[in-house]
Amino acid sequence: MTYVIAIANEKGGVAKTTTALSLGAALVEIQKEVLLVDLDPQANLSLGLGIRAGSTSQSVADVLMGNKTILGVSQETGVPGLDLVAANHELMMAERFLSVRQDYESLLRQALRPASIYDVILLDCPPALGPLTRSALTAANLLIIPTQCEFFSAHALRNMLNLIREVRQHTNPNLRYRLLLTIIDRRNRIHRSLHEQVRAAFGNAVFETVIEMDTRVRESQAFAQPITVYAPKSRSANQYRALAQELRHYAQEILGSPPSTA
């Protein structure tokens, strides 16, 4: 059974794209076939795999507009088992047309059905709560919300939780979510304090795994490689591997069980 995961947060700079790329690569290491879908018009996920927005004529925009199938625009990457549906500048235009189409939220979910050959589909969302993010949440089994231990990032969770409630009421009653604490500096007192507050407030809706600050991640982006490939022994690589294992166990536990508040 294909497990669809959206990675989203209204706040930018919280490691959404890094998480999509690194988690995808870590899942491949445990023998999962993974499809990455770049839903951000900035196309940073595509760029993170060496594909520039202007260099590809076919993208996820063609899928959303009904011109291509998801498998027709997917492409292999330099990581065996990790495929990509890239984004390009046409995605901005496609997003404008989405909201005027009837039941637009369900278009992506329908488009993903032929991709059931994959074990996991990861949807990298833009830092906004518009049609693309709503479509991703409608298609997803699970929403991962990367969250920094900083005030603005924690504050943005309110809007994300409101959106989750809306999606559950109207288009995807089975949507679940988990918070992923990212870019943590354990030496920082505010980070430690907010870390504790988030765990106290959300309990088991927070992944046990945390992603700490690591300069090797920035280096890996410049070389268009996942951190697990660029620096396989680095702290971040091992933390994303731990996240992949935690996610695998979580998915096995909840698949087929009724939805809960988290």
Per-residue pLDDT tens digits for 74-83:
999 999 999 9
Burial class (CB in 10 A: 0-12, 13-18, 19+), 246: middle
Select from 54, 95, 58, 52 the least CA-distant residue to 75.
Answer: 58
State residue 256's pLDDT score: 53
State residue 254's pLDDT score: 67
* Lookup result for tokens 């989203």: 8
State residue 259's pLDDT score: 47
* Spans of the chain, pLDDT less than 70: 53-54, 254-262
**Correct CATH for 3-254 of 3.40.250.10, 3.60.15.10, 3.40.50.300, 3.30.980.20:** 3.40.50.300
State residue 52's pLDDT score: 82
Residues forming beta bridges with residue 179, ordered by sequence position: 145, 206
State residue 258's pLDDT score: 47
**Helices in the chain by DSSP H: which ranges?**
16-29, 44-47, 60-64, 70-73, 90-98, 107-111, 131-139, 151-155, 157-170, 189-202, 215-222, 227-230, 235-254
Question: pLDDT digits over 48-60, tens only?
Answer: 999 986 678 889 9
What is the pairing mode between strands 120-124 and 176-182? unpaired
Burial 91-101 (b: 16+ CB within 10 A, else e): beebbeebeee
State residue 262's pLDDT score: 60
